[in-house]
Structure 1
Amino acid sequence: MRRRARELAMRALFAHTQGGVDLEEAFQHALEEMEGEEALGEPLDQEAVAFARRLLWGYKARQEEVDRALKETVEGWDFAQMSKTDLTVLRLATYEMLFEPTPFAPLIEVAVKIANRYGGEHSRAFVNGVLGRLYRRIQEGELKTVPKEA
């Protein structure tokens, strides 16, 4: 269920940042699209929608901190050079790694799957590499996170 919620948040953030669509409008449009696709996957229940909303608005509230951590982690790329899909996945995953109690392993795994589904040929490896470096920075105490669920 959380994978679909993360996809919902990613699709809404992408529309907001790339299309200039109001955040709430982008969220509602992405939700309607995904509800129309329910035959392709598990349905979005109220809990999943609430989780997607929390990720999306959480990122927007901490965008400066998240983007700074991401810029300091990505090696050899700036945001203008990156695939906008990859950047959107990375922004939400970075927010979740730093500010949500989600354990790291499933979070990274799902982010890589979403990048693979929506991104280009190299998105899976790129997103995995960046999130791996971010995880190492957290493990080394360079970045602080909220306590994680067991």
Structure 2
Amino acid sequence: MTTLNRHQARQVAFQTLYSLEMNLDANIEAVVRQVLAGDPEIEISDTLPQDVLDLVSAVNDHKNELDLELSQYLAAGWTIDRLSKVDLTLLRLALYEAKSTDTPKNVAINEALQLAHDFTGDDSRKFINAVLNKALTQDN
């Protein structure tokens, strides 16, 4: 079985969710296998990490609800459709983890920002931080 640390698992989940956003007909397991094969730091085996598959499936299954919630925290005039797919994928993943798993909110935010550091620019990181802080740290 492929064993990943928590950051690696989130990164694989993020990359898989992004790929699924680009190809809505893709098979989750095939995409996870492809993402794992593309990372030289991860030793893959025949068995895919179940925690990654579960997280990807859950976020993918709840996209509409996550988008509806996220849209409440966007600046006036902004809609989900205007967001970059990378930013939207990171926001969905962090919001789902913080609200629907035992991941502490600050960890979900920090992990999203770390992934944003690796996959986006400064403006996106600032945007993601602002939206997640509104969504997860204010009394809702």
Q: Tell me the TM-score normalized by structure 2.
A: 0.81
The aligned runs of 1:91-106 (5 Å cut-off) are: 91-106=92-107
Distance 1:69 1:23, change over 3 A: farther
Structure-2 separation of matches of 1:108 and 1:99: 14
- The percentage of counterpart residues that share the same residue type is 25
Whether contact under 8 Å (1:97, 1:104) holds in the other structure is yes
Distance 1:33 1:111, change over 3 A: same
Whether contact under 8 Å (1:90, 1:127) holds in the other structure is yes
RMSD between aligned alpha carbons? 2.4
| Deviation by residue 1:69-114 (Cα, 9 ceiling, x = unmatched) | 1111222321222121011110111111111111111111011110
Q: How far does residue 44 in structure 1 lie from its aligned partner after superposition?
A: 6.9
Whether contact under 8 Å (2:66, 2:96) holds in the other structure is yes
The aligned runs of 1:74-93 (5 Å cut-off) are: 74-76=74-76, 77-93=78-94
Aligned partner letter, 2:81: A
Q: Give SS of 1:52's match.
A: helix
Which residue pairs with 2:15 in the alignment? 11
Q: How far does residue 135 in structure 1 lie from its aligned partner after superposition?
A: 1.2
Whether contact under 8 Å (1:8, 1:31) holds in the other structure is no
Q: Give SS of 1:80's match.
A: helix
Whether contact under 8 Å (2:67, 2:80) holds in the other structure is no
Residue 130 of structure 2 corresponds to residue 126 of structure 1? no
Aligned partner letter, 2:17: L
Q: Give SS of 1:122's match.
A: helix
Greater CA deviation, 57-66 or 108-117? 57-66
Structure-2 separation of matches of 1:43 and 1:105: 29
Q: Give SS of 1:73's match.
A: coil
Which residue pairs with 2:36 in the alignment? 34
4+ residue runs over 4 A deviation: 42-46
Aligned length: 135
Structure-2 separation of matches of 1:93 and 1:75: 19
List alignment gaps of at least 5 residues for structure 2: none
List alignment gaps of at least 5 residues for structure 1: 143-150
